[in-house]
Amino acid sequence: MTHEPPTDRKRRPGPALLVQILVSATILGWLFYHTDWPALGMRFSQMRIPWFLAAMLAYAANLSLSSVRWGVILQALEVPAPALWLLRLNWVGAYFNQVLPGSVSGDVVRAWYTRPQTSSATLALAAVFGDRFLGMGSLVGIATVAYAVGQKSAGLLPRMGETIALLAFGYLLIVLLILSPKLGFLKTRAGKFGRKLHEIRTGMGALLCHPRAMLQSIILSLLVQVCSILMFWFLAKSLGVPADATVLWIIWPVISLFLAVPFSLAGWGLREGLMVFYLGFLHVSHDQALALSLLLGVTVLLTSLPGALLWLGVHHHPLATAGAVTGTGRDSIEEFHLPR
């Protein structure tokens, strides 16, 4: 039996991948066409390295804290795993999220290597997607509160109130679907979307039965996003790009939420387009916003690269090979007595 994760390297590119490539290439092409290249080059030539290194450390802290949150969810599912093992897999997942198509490729890899601990593919995916879902919830909360507090400055951004309201409504709708007993119907009739909801439901159901674990996960989610905002701020300082509270607490969380949707290839293009669009209304020049966005992508990629080394030999690790997936674990959300 093979212990290699089910990556897409041996498959032919599907329509979704081709669309992602087209979206990324189209947006980047348009942005580069309207770019003042000497000005962009000057931005990078004047980059302050200490702030850039601080941004990499902030993203490393992001990955470390999110691995702790993942461990809390696994404990709630009664399948604890060693912290260092989860940290290693979280870095591996971050690397695959950057080099494989789709926004959840790294999450699938993480779930694959924790199947021996959970003895259930559903539980392994539940923990990973529950981890991702909590992170998105903290972004929605941060953007909503920040917009409510700073409406005066946020009013410069077109339709930002409606955008945040739509994102919050979408998130709450998914929460309602998770809590609804009708999800069994969605699992069989709604394809991949229904199955993912079922997996999130399993993980969130376990947390709802463990209030302390839920509270810990929420606090960790907020800390993870604070690290992400710090990374953004450090990079803005590195390039000399003005980043006030509106940029840090509203624009960046909203852009991060859009990047969670697999519209583009690892976020490239979509991130740059949104950054140039929103920062332009705050009097940040095209080349400044584009430089900041490109540096963000490079920072995430470079910080994730150790995951490639950590992946080497991971499928021979005792925790990755111990036992087989029997499917006899807690594979049903009903076992967690989710409120109906």
Q: Is the pLDDT reported for residue 9 higher than 60? A: no
Q: How far apart are CA 89 and CA 96, in angstroms?
A: 10
Closest CA to 134 of 227, 210, 223, 195: 223
Is 334 inside a domain boundary?
A: no
Q: Decide if pLDDT at 152 tops 80.
A: no
Does residue 337 lie within any of the structural domains?
A: no
**Structural domain that includes position 210:** 15-321
- Comparing C-alpha atoms, which of 57, 41, 85 is closest to residue 319? 85
In tens, the pLDDT along 97-135 reads 988 766 678 888 998 899 888 877 778 888 888 888 899
Residues 108 and 97: beta-carbon distance below 8 Å: no
Q: CB-based burial of residue 188 (10 Å sphere; 0-12 exposed, 13-18 middle, 19+ buried)?
A: exposed
Q: Which residues, in sequence order, are CB contacts of 227 under 8 Å at separation 6+?
A: 58, 59, 61, 62, 65
pLDDT value of position 5: 63
Is pLDDT at 240 greater than 70 in this prediction? yes
Q: How many domains does the chain have?
A: 1
Place of tokens 């993912």: 196
Rounded CA-CA distance 33/40 in Å is 12
Query: Left if phi > 0, otherwise alpha if psi is -120 to 50, otherwise beta: which for 7?
Result: beta
Residue 336 covered by a domain: no
Evaluate whether residue 301 is within a structural domain. yes
Q: Is the pLDDT of residue 219 over 80?
A: yes
Each residue of 167-179: pLDDT tens digit?
A: 999 999 888 877 7
118: tokens are 């959970």
Identify whether 209 is part of a domain. Answer: yes
**Rounded distance between C-alpha atoms, residue 185 and residue 205, angstroms:** 17
Which amino acid appears at position 93 of this protein? G
The arithmetic mean of pLDDT across residues 228-250, rounded, is: 94
Asked if residues 307 and 93 have their Cβ atoms less than 8 Å apart, the reply is yes
Question: Residue range 191-220: average pLDDT?
Answer: 77
Cα–Cα distance for residue pair 273/178, rounded to 1 Å: 32
Q: What is the reported pLDDT for 13?
A: 55
Q: Is residue 58 part of a domain?
A: yes
Give the dihedral of Cα atoms 308, 266, 133, 256; nearest 10 deg.
120
Residue of 287, 285, 145, 161 whose CA lies nearest to 222: 145
Is residue 339 included in any domain, yes or no? no
Residue 259 lies in a domain: yes
Which pLDDT band holds residue 196 (cuts at 50, 70, 90)?
A: low
40-69 mean pLDDT: 97
pTM: 0.86
Q: pLDDT at residue 181 above 80?
A: no
At 207, is the pLDDT very low, low, confident or very high (cuts 50, 70, 90)? Answer: confident
pLDDT recorded at residue 199: 67
